[in-house]
Structure 1
Amino acid sequence: MIATLATLLGLLALGAAPARAAEPAQAEAAAPAGLRVTDGRVVESNGNAFVMRGVNHAHTWYQSQTQSFADIKALGANTVRVVLADGHRWTANSASDVAAVVDRCKANKLICVLEVHDTTGYGEESAAGTLDQAANYWIGLKGVLAGQEDYVVINIGNEPWGNNNHAGWTDATKNAITKLRGAGLRHALMVDAPNWGQDWSNTMRDNAASVFAADPDRNTIFSVHMYGVYDTAAEVQSYLNTFVTNKLPIVVGEFGHDHSDGNPDEDAVMATAQSFGIGYIGWSWSGNGGGVEYLDMVTNFDAASLTSWGTRFFKGANGIAQTSREATIYSGGTGGDTQAPTAPGTPKASTVSASSVALTWSASSDNVGVTGYEVLRVDGSSRTVVATSTTTSATVTGLSAGTAYTFAVRARDAAGNRSADSAGLQVTTQPGGDTPSGSCAVGYKITNQWSGGFQGEIVVRNTTGAAVSNWKLAFSFADGQKISNMWGGTVAQSGAAVTVTPASYTTTIAAGGSVTLGFLASKGSANTAPATFTLNGAACSAL
């Protein structure tokens, strides 16, 4: 959890420092067993892809809540990220306690991500410990952890480095990885981003390749925590896309539906993780305090009392119930699928506008079955995933008018194997706007008003035969009205001029379809409706 966790959980007594391990021995020669990274994805020892769908549980402060493991599993999670302490800031979890945690994970068929929380905000939080100290703690647990490589991921330290001197994260992380490997720990490692886990400085993103290369086992997973920094779908997609494109393993190790530092786009986090086939672990099961109790998924550790956040996380779109799959180490799966799909056919452009391209391609084949496709924008040797699809068509949006682009496609199967890229297609977008005059209609009405304010509704209809994506609605108020809050879209207002861009769930207006925007605004004595509306610069008729 980010920034002010010391005020959030209420059970934060300082503990004695743990004993320090002896100098690490030389790394073992055997290849890593158990969970491991292959071609940028997490796989099990049998080669089957494993996509984390889990929950954070604050075990170190709530050690009596042992039923939580079974309850988390019962709601469908396949992973639990367990908060531990190394003794620098909070009382260290003993070897026997950690062994019991691992046993509970295994008994409930959960993959166990173990993390040291004392490192939270190092460099900004004066009480925080270092990654080196956390590494010593893990080395001291080698007797407990050895042989658990199929079931345990070692998350070296939670949110190491705050917002100060975060450039030190890279070397500190490399050194901790090297130290653990030198001591003979062969588990998959997980490393959290700096900036309280949010990596707004892109320190982890820009140095991930060198950190991954510093692991002699090449078995390190990167974890970003998505709170207020990630309040738009574009920010979520852009950050995760960089890792996926460069075949670097990434999970969203924490995220919530709201936070004191901003309102994260949890829908985009879950949808993007699902489309990219990467893991996510929500914060948190129960026990939050200090003003962020709304991040509890259940009330008072009662699995029968889901909060609104818990209901969304477990039962909503792209949530645990829909997307979680148990690790095959528990379900008896053997002989992982290692055969990649065939390459798709060269894409063809069915529709080209000023800001989007609709593509189709011939299907790939696979020994088990193709589960999805990724559309790549090709720029020299650089390839960026710009769209995903479960069918043989997709629309790429957000393009610049009159610009040449090259697109290719690759397929993905259920085990996470990716095909070779298709041949590329070069497309030049149309010049000018892509919404012709007369192609939209807008209805505006005041649904309620009072002295000094009112509530309004705007219906935007696409009257064409083709979908409109990433739209922009513009209009002006005549009487000094000022919008304070909007749902269904994101508003920007400068004086009388208002522009609205889509929310994550209204990005596309289907052919003949419409979206509805609601808003609250201030007003004076007069409240005249806007005279005209434009969609992507083209005038709309009245609805």
Structure 2
Amino acid sequence: MKRRLAIFAAAALSAVASVLFFINPAYAAAGLHVSGTTIVEANGQPFIMRGINHEHTWFTNQTSSFANIKATGANTVRVVLSGGRWTANSAADVANVIALCKQNKLICVLEDHDTTGYGEDSAAYTLDQAVNYWIGLKSVLVGQEDYVVINIGNEPIGNTNPAQWTTATAAAIQKMRTNGFQHLLMVDAPNWGQDWTNTMRDTGQTVLDADTQHNTVLSIHMYAVYNTAASIISYLDAFKAKGWPLVIGEFGWQFASGEVDDQTLMAEADARGLGYLGWSWAGNTDPILDMTVNFDPAQLTTWGQRIVNGAHGIKATARQATIFGTTPTTPPTTPPPTTPPPTGLGCTPAYSVTGQWQGGFQGEVKVTAGSAAIKSWTVTMTFANGQTVSQAWNATATSSGSTVTARNVSYNGALPAGGITTFGFLGSWTGTNSTPALTCTAA
């Protein structure tokens, strides 16, 4: 099993673009496919992944996890498989995984974990070996193109000679197509998936051009290399400028200052219409990256609370794939505020508790501008029952006694008249968790 934190440390050391939804009839029948920078279903409806990674190959008995992941609101599950580096997942097992995904109305991203860290980890398989594994599973994969994405190999190159990624990945895609696979393909970046050498960022076009069906999406894994908002935004901007399809195939949370800025990541993915898949439901060597305690959906960890119930988390942003019967809907362009906006240069705060557990809770504040545009805002929360705030996202929060002051960050301070933004936070409580007194000032 991957020792995540050691890998992250090694890696650290060494307005959405318009899309023309043209569906080529030759590929429309293949199910999920790329159109421009967007993943779409066979009917042309955009599909944005909001999901969770599940370590199936090491915990094959945890089949209830598929239903439990769906219960979070997720629309996708990325399933860890092995062709032999660990106990191999057979065709029958993979067929059962696909059935569980479909039963629970989840798009199934299947990934071969054997390739993790090739070139640096002597046990890792090549991408060519990974393709051979998929060829061996072809009998249970053909016909599932509406439901299954094939992630050819997890983190297929380590930090040793990451430049080999381009040729190896292009060859793997071509071999998949030569062997008749019509599925949407996903390819991970080198550098244990984090691309800190910018190999995928700079040579991605070669890889995309290798696919004769033009049906490949690039995948970045964001951990400690992306511990600032600037690093995340810069990387995502580069792909937007190039017009390349991208998903965030793995990421963790900022449990320490040097770890990934998960709140910026989710907010940016939401704003840009990018899919994301958090790592992972449970089973990590170091459980700090587990979203649940021992696979128990009733015991979400801090990481689980953040990705499931956060302002830009799964519950708030996931939309089920229409292949499962969801009727496509178009949300209103300007949702009406739940409270009347103030007049003039001002703002109104609305407080809610989005999740609560023994000793802890997650809160959210919606800030609505008044009848004039504002450039910045400050919300003051005064708690009456000893509650404290430990972390915040989409705002900079400071505490003084029972008062918490939250100020906008760079990307959400300017609001048009009647405009709305939100920020969230994690806190602790004992006895009573009452609503604080709130004020909002704007400039």
User: Which residue number in structure 1 is paired with residue 240 of structure 2?
Assistant: 244
Q: Secondary structure at the match of 1:154?
A: strand
Equivalent-residue separation in structure 2 for 1:261 and 1:137 (angstroms): 39
Give 1:114 deviation, angstroms: 0.2
Equivalent residues in 2 for 1:250-265, closer than 5 Å: 250-258=246-254, 262-265=258-261
Pick aligned residue for 1:293 from 253, 273, 287: 287
Contact 1:58 1:83 in 2 (8 A): yes
Contact 2:376 2:408 in 1 (8 A): no
Equivalent-residue separation in structure 1 for 2:232 and 2:7 (angstroms): 27
CA change 1:207–1:122 in 2 (3 A) is same
Amino acid at match of 2:67: A
Amino acid at match of 1:302: D
Equivalent-residue separation in structure 2 for 1:62 and 1:47 (angstroms): 35
Contact 1:227 1:259 in 2 (8 A): no
Q: Deviations over 1:127-168 (max 9, x none)?
A: 111100000000111110000000000000000101110000
Q: 1:66 aligned to 2:63? A: yes
User: Which residue number in structure 2 is paired with residue 320 of structure 1?
Assistant: 314
Equivalent-residue separation in structure 2 for 1:108 and 1:369 (angstroms): 25
Q: Deviations over 1:397-440 (max 9, x none)?
A: xxxxxxxxxxxxxxxxxxxxxxxxxxxxxxxxxxxxxxxxxxxx
Equivalent-residue separation in structure 2 for 1:510 and 1:227 (angstroms): 29
Q: 1:110 aligned to 2:77? A: no
Q: Deviations over 1:2-23 (max 9, x none)?
A: 7658999xxxxxxxxxxxxxxx
Give 1:210 deviation, angstroms: 1.6
Equivalent-residue separation in structure 2 for 1:270 and 1:42 (angstroms): 18
Q: 1:223 aligned to 2:131? A: no
Contact 1:2 1:159 in 2 (8 A): no
Equivalent-residue separation in structure 1 for 2:188 and 2:51 (angstroms): 16
Equivalent-residue separation in structure 2 for 1:304 and 1:50 (angstroms): 28
Q: 1:121 aligned to 2:29? A: no
User: Which residue number in structure 2 is paired with residue 145 of structure 1?
Assistant: 141
Equivalent-residue separation in structure 1 for 2:219 and 2:257 (angstroms): 19
Q: Secondary structure at the match of 1:223?
A: strand
Q: Secondary structure at the match of 2:177?
A: helix
User: Which residue number in structure 2 is paired with residue 36 of structure 1?
Assistant: 33
Equivalent-residue separation in structure 2 for 1:503 and 1:228 (angstroms): 25
Pick aligned residue for 2:159 from 156, 163, 166: 163
Q: Deviations over 1:243-300 (max 9, x none)?
A: 22322110110111147893110001100000000100001000111xx311110100
Amino acid at match of 1:306: L
Equivalent-residue separation in structure 2 for 1:111 and 1:104 (angstroms): 10
CA change 1:2–1:94 in 2 (3 A) is closer
Contact 1:227 1:261 in 2 (8 A): no
CA change 1:127–1:503 in 2 (3 A) is farther
Contact 2:250 2:276 in 1 (8 A): yes
Contact 1:59 1:84 in 2 (8 A): yes
CA change 1:7–1:279 in 2 (3 A) is closer
Pick aligned residue for 2:303 from 278, 286, 309: 309
Structure number having the greater strand percentage? 1
Q: Secondary structure at the match of 1:237?
A: helix
CA change 1:100–1:201 in 2 (3 A) is same
Equivalent-residue separation in structure 2 for 1:6 and 1:264 (angstroms): 14
Equivalent-residue separation in structure 2 for 1:281 and 1:131 (angstroms): 22
Give 1:222 deviation, angstroms: 0.6
Q: Deviations over 1:367-404 (max 9, x none)?
A: x67859xxxxxxxxxxxxxxxxx9xxxxxxxxxxxxxx
Q: Secondary structure at the match of 2:187?
A: strand
Report which structure shows greater RCO (CA 8 Å, sep ≥6): 2
Q: Deviations over 1:440-462 (max 9, x none)?
A: xxxxxxxxxxxxxxxxxxxxxxx
Equivalent-residue separation in structure 1 for 2:412 and 2:275 (angstroms): 26
Equivalent-residue separation in structure 2 for 1:253 and 1:504 (angstroms): 29
Pick aligned residue for 2:375 from 449, 453, 467: 467
Amino acid at match of 2:375: A
Contact 1:258 1:295 in 2 (8 A): no
Amino acid at match of 1:219: N
Aligned residues: CA RMSD: 3.1
Equivalent-residue separation in structure 2 for 1:77 and 1:66 (angstroms): 16
Equivalent-residue separation in structure 2 for 1:320 and 1:4 (angstroms): 23
Q: Secondary structure at the match of 1:225?
A: strand
Give 1:64 deviation, angstroms: 0.2
User: Which residue number in structure 2 is paired with residue 413 of structure 1?
Assistant: none
Equivalenced residues, count:
340
TM-score by length of 2: 0.71
Q: Secondary structure at the match of 2:154?
A: coil
Equivalent-residue separation in structure 2 for 1:262 and 1:270 (angstroms): 17
Give 1:187 deviation, angstroms: 0.1
Amino acid at match of 1:62: F
User: Which residue number in structure 2 is paired with residue 55 of structure 1?
Assistant: 52
CA change 1:332–1:101 in 2 (3 A) is same
Structure 2 unaligned residues grouped into runs of 5+? 9-24, 337-372, 378-390, 398-405, 416-443
Contact 1:78 1:326 in 2 (8 A): yes
CA change 1:136–1:245 in 2 (3 A) is same
Q: Secondary structure at the match of 1:177?
A: helix
Equivalent residues in 2 for 1:101-500, closer than 5 Å: 101-258=97-254, 262-289=258-285, 292-333=286-327, 371=333, 467=375
Q: What is the percent sequence identity of the aligned residues? A: 57
TM-score by length of 1: 0.58
Equivalent-residue separation in structure 1 for 2:409 and 2:7 (angstroms): 34
CA change 1:59–1:78 in 2 (3 A) is same
Q: Deviations over 1:310-337 (max 9, x none)?
A: 011101110000000000000254xx89
User: Which residue number in structure 1 is paired with residue 426 of structure 2?
Assistant: none
Q: Deviations over 1:83-136 (max 9, x none)?
A: 00011x212100000000000000000000000001001111111111000000
Equivalent-residue separation in structure 2 for 1:504 and 1:128 (angstroms): 45
Give 1:234 deviation, angstroms: 1.4
Pick aligned residue for 2:78 from 81, 85, 97: 81
Equivalent-residue separation in structure 2 for 1:157 and 1:188 (angstroms): 14
